[in-house]
Structure 1
Amino acid sequence: MAGTVDPARSAQMSLVRSRDTKPEMRVRKALHAAGLRYRLHDRRLPGAPDLVFPARRLVVFVHGCFWHRHPGCPAARLPKSRLDFWEPKLAGNVARDARVRAELESLGWKVIVIWECETRKKEALSALAGGIAALPVVSPARRERKT
């Protein structure tokens, strides 16, 4: 049965979102409530980070524990079937995350990753907001004028 795709599984996987996920929305809501303003998914930056704080040269990624292999998290377990598909797929995600992080850091950006399981804890969200607010503003926010 290798190579065949279960239509029910395909339909289920098509519902997996990459933007505006529940964990991302929890982070966005907490940071906004703390008075922090950000840009979303800036495609000009490597990896199109979930949240971008241009004046602080900071990006935040909200990683799903399963998809990005959160070390030590029970949600990061491998599926029991189709390991020939899942192992390289998930390893590729981790490799891409490391590559994107290195690119951003080489461009002078600070990178923060908050994991899906951490977004369920108010203390973690408060600590994230406090940590971001404590960062100095590196450059004033520039507004482009339309002429």
Structure 2
Amino acid sequence: MADRLTPEHRSWLMSRVRGKNTTPEMRVRKAAHALGARFRLHRKELPGTPDLIFPKKRLALFVHGCFWHRHPNCKKASLPKSRPEYWHSKFAANVERDERVRVELKARGWKVGVIWECETKSDVELRQRLQAVLSSSGEGSSTHGEN
């Protein structure tokens, strides 16, 4: 199936995609604050500029979009039908960068957690997921289930 949008309109639409202060990130921040967790935002001195860091726990937390970061087994991680070779290489580079950042943060003594966009839809589920990430200080919360 061909793209229903013109290349110009698709380009404009993609330019609207934000890297920080996204809706899922704002939901995570609100939930973390409600849990009494204190955090800092977008620390550029850390690899990957984590969305939230919890300094006392030395936990770097990323709020990943399922589409861009390829959440395994998630329906939001679909492949666009136009230019599939471009998208395969784009997504592979994103996943590779995520892994490289995770390894570098761990080498610096940080724990790494990921909350996926689809995990932020329900306030109750998000709160449970965030409590699990915070209480385990990152164990079992990495991108692919290993830490």
Into which bin does the TM-score normalised by the smaller protein fall? 0.7 to 0.9
Please give the alpha-carbon distance, in whole angstroms, between the structure 1 residues aligned to 2:81 and 2:27: 30
Of all paired residues, the percent bearing the same amino acid is 56
Please give the alpha-carbon distance, in whole angstroms, between the structure 2 residues aligned to 1:71 and 1:135: 22
Report the AA paired with residue 68 of structure 1: H
Shift in Å, 1:60:
0.6
Q: Call closer, same or farther: CA 1:68–1:53 in 2, change over 3 Å.
A: same
Please give the alpha-carbon distance, in whole angstroms, between the structure 2 residues aligned to 1:97 and 1:15: 22
Q: Which runs of 5+ in 2 are unaligned?
A: 1-5, 138-147
Q: Call closer, same or farther: CA 1:105–1:124 in 2, change over 3 Å.
A: farther
Alignment of 1:1-147 (within 5 A): 6-131=7-132, 134=135
Encode CA deviations 1:50-97: one digit per residue, 9 max, x unaligned: 000111100110000000000000000100111121110011000000
Give the conservation status (yes or no) of the 8 Å contact 2:113–2:133: no
Please give the alpha-carbon distance, in whole angstroms, between the structure 1 residues aligned to 2:114 and 2:136: 16
Shift in Å, 1:6:
1.6
Please give the alpha-carbon distance, in whole angstroms, between the structure 1 residues aligned to 2:134 and 2:73: 29
Higher relative contact order (CA 8 A, sep 6+): 1
TM-score (norm. length: structure 2): 0.84
CA RMSD of aligned residues (A): 1.6
Please give the alpha-carbon distance, in whole angstroms, between the structure 1 residues aligned to 2:134 and 2:93: 33
Please give the alpha-carbon distance, in whole angstroms, between the structure 2 residues aligned to 1:99 and 1:133: 22
Please give the alpha-carbon distance, in whole angstroms, between the structure 1 residues aligned to 2:87 and 2:9: 18
Q: Call closer, same or farther: CA 1:76–1:132 in 2, change over 3 Å.
A: closer
**Aligned residues, how many?**
132
Please give the alpha-carbon distance, in whole angstroms, between the structure 2 residues aligned to 1:121 and 1:110: 25
Please give the alpha-carbon distance, in whole angstroms, between the structure 1 residues aligned to 2:116 and 2:133: 16
Q: Which runs of 5+ in 1 are unaligned?
A: 137-147
